[in-house]
């Protein structure tokens, strides 16, 4: 394989690993800190070998009850070899997800693929997020102008609305297709907390509702 292609895959995979960690999935420091030389030595030329299953610990409420199931805490990343993906290929991915009881996935696509939101909705209960590998060459959250973002839990969202006595529809909005929202895997109805540096207040916190 062309060495430039290997380098590209290394950069894309690194961004994916950082993205997973930022979504609170368990990613080892060894994977995150892997060097390009180490990646070249271990990569066997098959994109499928980069597929990765991750999980995060189940979330509990104050009484210790599970509020997010173990199944919802697992996600699999696919690196299909096809240049472009069609619905038939995505249906095959959905079948693989069902086989391993994992209903969340990120699919890293080599070339431009026109898949609509409506078509992806047809694959439910499987939630499939598609990213072009070119979108993942750099981690957009590391840009100096991008403030810190955090996705609130349902409980934190409830407490926020109660504290300020507002409905979620009254919050400023952010589109789920916004690059930052996509990076964090935000779903419609979730709220993002955004912390910006402020010369006067130290930091300035705002909230946005995904729609």
Whether residue 53 is found in the same domain as residue 96: yes
Whether residue 87 is found in the same domain as residue 175: no
Residue 132's pLDDT band, with cuts at 50, 70 and 90, is very high
The pTM (predicted TM-score) of the whole model is: 0.88
Q: What values do phi and psi take at 108, rounded to 5?
A: -100, 115
Whether residue 77 is found in the same domain as residue 160: no
pLDDT for the residue numbered 3: 85
The percentage of the chain sitting over the pLDDT mark of 70, rounded to a whole number, equals 92
Which residues lie closer than 8 Å to 137 by C-beta, 6 or more apart? 8, 11, 12, 15
**Residue 26's domain is classified under what CATH number?**
3.40.1340.10
- Average of per-residue pLDDT values in the chain: 92
Residue 21's pLDDT band, with cuts at 50, 70 and 90, is very high
Whether residue 117 is found in the same domain as residue 150: no
Q: Show which of 112, 138, 164 is a domain's final residue.
A: 138
Q: What's the rounded Cα separation, in Å, for the pair 107 and 93? A: 9
Summarised one tens digit per residue, pLDDT across range 85-114 is 999 999 999 999 999 999 999 999 998 788
Res 199 pLDDT > 90: no
Q: What's the rounded Cα separation, in Å, for the pair 113 and 116? A: 9
Whether residue 50 is found in the same domain as residue 96: yes
pLDDT for the residue numbered 102: 97
pLDDT for the residue numbered 2: 80
Res 59 pLDDT > 70: no
**Residue 184's domain is classified under what CATH number?**
3.90.940.20
Q: Show which of 138, 170, 194 is a domain's final residue.
A: 138
Quote the distance between the C-alpha of residue 205 and its chain's center: 23
Q: What's the rounded Cα separation, in Å, for the pair 42 and 3? A: 14
Tell me how many domains the chain contains.
2
pLDDT for the residue numbered 209: 99
Q: Show which of 118, 138, 158 is a domain's final residue.
A: 138
Whether residue 195 is found in the same domain as residue 131: no
Whether residue 117 is found in the same domain as residue 185: no
Domain hosting 69: range is: 3-138
pLDDT for the residue numbered 70: 56
Whether residue 44 is found in the same domain as residue 111: yes
Whether residue 126 is found in the same domain as residue 42: yes
């Amino acid at each position: 394989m062309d060495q430039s292609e290997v380098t590209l895959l290394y950069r894309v995979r690194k961004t994916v690993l950082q993205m997973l960690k930022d979504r609170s999935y368990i990613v080892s420091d060894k994977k995150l800190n892997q060097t390009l030389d180490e990646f070249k030595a271990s990569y066997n030329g098959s994109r499928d070998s980069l597929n990765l299953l991750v999980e995060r610990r189940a979330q509990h409420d104050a009484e210790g009850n599970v509020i997010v199931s173990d199944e919802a805490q697992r996600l699999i990343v696919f690196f299909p070899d096809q240049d472009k993906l069609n619905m038939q290929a995505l249906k095959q991915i959905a079948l693989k997800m069902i086989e391993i009881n994992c209903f969340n996935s990120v699919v890293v696509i080599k070339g431009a693929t026109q898949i609509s939101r409506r078509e992806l909705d047809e694959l439910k209960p499987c939630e499939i997020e598609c990213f072009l590998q070119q979108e993942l060459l750099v981690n957009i959250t590391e840009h100096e102008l991008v403030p810190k973002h955090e996705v609130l839990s349902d409980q934190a969202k409830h407490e926020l609305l109660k504290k300020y006595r507002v409905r979620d529809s009254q919050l400023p909005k952010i589109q789920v297709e916004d690059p930052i929202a996509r990076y964090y895997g935000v779903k419609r109805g979730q709220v993002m907390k955004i912390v910006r540096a402020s010369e006067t207040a130290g930091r300035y916190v705002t909230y946005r509702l995904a729609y």
